[in-house]
Amino acid sequence: MTLPDDFKQCVDFHGHVCPGLVLGYQATRFGLEWLREHRAEDEEIVAIVENDACFVDAVQVLSGCTFGKGNFIFRDYGKIAVTFLSRNSNRGVRISLKPDKTPSDPKHRELFQKIQRGDATEEERKEFYKLHEKRSTELLQKKPEELFNIKEVEMILPPKARIEPSVICDECHEPTMKSKTLEHHGRILCKECAQAISGRGE
Ligand SMILES: [Zn+2]
Ligand SMILES: [Zn+2]
């Protein structure tokens, strides 16, 4: 099958085709479509992802919400879910994987474990990547509403991170955002140095 252009952009960024990337692609398209139907397009969008795996690379590429811009928030819940919010209205939509829609193939899982342990043969490796690709294609052909639940949400976001002047850490002498430093026995320390010093029991 020929891959959609916007999916190819996700693959270029991520480095390979995999089921997680496909799910991120599907969830993001689903969420952005909902927002366009319900909200003005020029409102600033924020993404809140609930895992830090392949999924989130597709979210960043398609939504333009990126780690570096500060409109990409990670919550470590271990769920295949993402919320898209409008910063102006604090309203948005959460997309989460339906419970039984992606049963994993036992053979696929077994091969994956072998590869992780480092004792897969070349043959098994090839078989794994074939199954991996087959599964990705299957997921890509599904309609997003078959895979995900979608629900409107309201959420108050923390204010945007501001750019602030740096101060110099008294230990490592590296410039550090002032709000991220700590005071320790009258010295200004970056978190890394503060942790090292308290680790030494000083
Ligand atoms: Zn991946
Ligand atoms: Zn330091």
* Residue 94, token pair as written in the block: 């959460």
Nearest-10 crossing angle of helices 19-38, 122-141: 20
**Per-chain residues with Cβ under 5 A from ion ligand 2:** 169, 171-172, 190, 193
Residue 159 pLDDT > 80: no
Work out the pLDDT band at 2, boundaries 50, 70, 90: confident
Q: What is the pLDDT of residues 116-139, one digit of tens each?
A: 999 899 999 999 989 888 999 999
Q: Could you tell me if residue 127 is inside a domain? A: no
Q: Could you tell me if residue 130 is inside a domain? A: no
* Residue 98, token pair as written in the block: 């339906």
pLDDT of residue 35: 85
Question: Are residues 12 and 46 located together in one domain of the fold?
Answer: yes
Question: Are residues 90 and 184 located together in one domain of the fold?
Answer: no
* Residue 30, token pair as written in the block: 């689903």
Distance 200 CA to ligand 2 centre (A): 15
Question: Are residues 170 and 85 located together in one domain of the fold?
Answer: no
Identify the CA nearest to 22 among candidates 33, 36, 35, 11: 11
Question: Are residues 148 and 181 located together in one domain of the fold?
Answer: no
Q: Counting ligands in written order, which one lies closest to the CA of residue 195?
A: 2
Please count the structural domains in the chain.
2
Provide the whole-model pTM: 0.83
Q: Which domain holds residue 148?
A: 5-99+143-154
Q: How many CB atoms lie within 10 A of CB 92?
A: 26
- Cα 159 to chain centroid, rounded: 20
Please compute the mean of the pLDDT values over residues 6-10 and round it to a whole number.
Answer: 96
Q: Could you tell me if residue 160 is inside a domain? A: no
Question: Are residues 55 and 150 located together in one domain of the fold?
Answer: yes
Q: Could you tell me if residue 55 is inside a domain? A: yes
Distance 116 CA to ligand 1 centre (A): 14
Q: Could you tell me if residue 106 is inside a domain? A: no
Question: Are residues 150 and 171 located together in one domain of the fold?
Answer: no
In CATH, what number is assigned to the domain containing residue 30? 3.30.1330.20
Nearest-10 crossing angle of helices 122-141, 106-117: 130
Question: Are residues 70 and 150 located together in one domain of the fold?
Answer: yes
Distance 161 CA to ligand 2 centre (A): 21
Distance CA 88, CA 45 (A): 9
- Cα 37 to chain centroid, rounded: 24
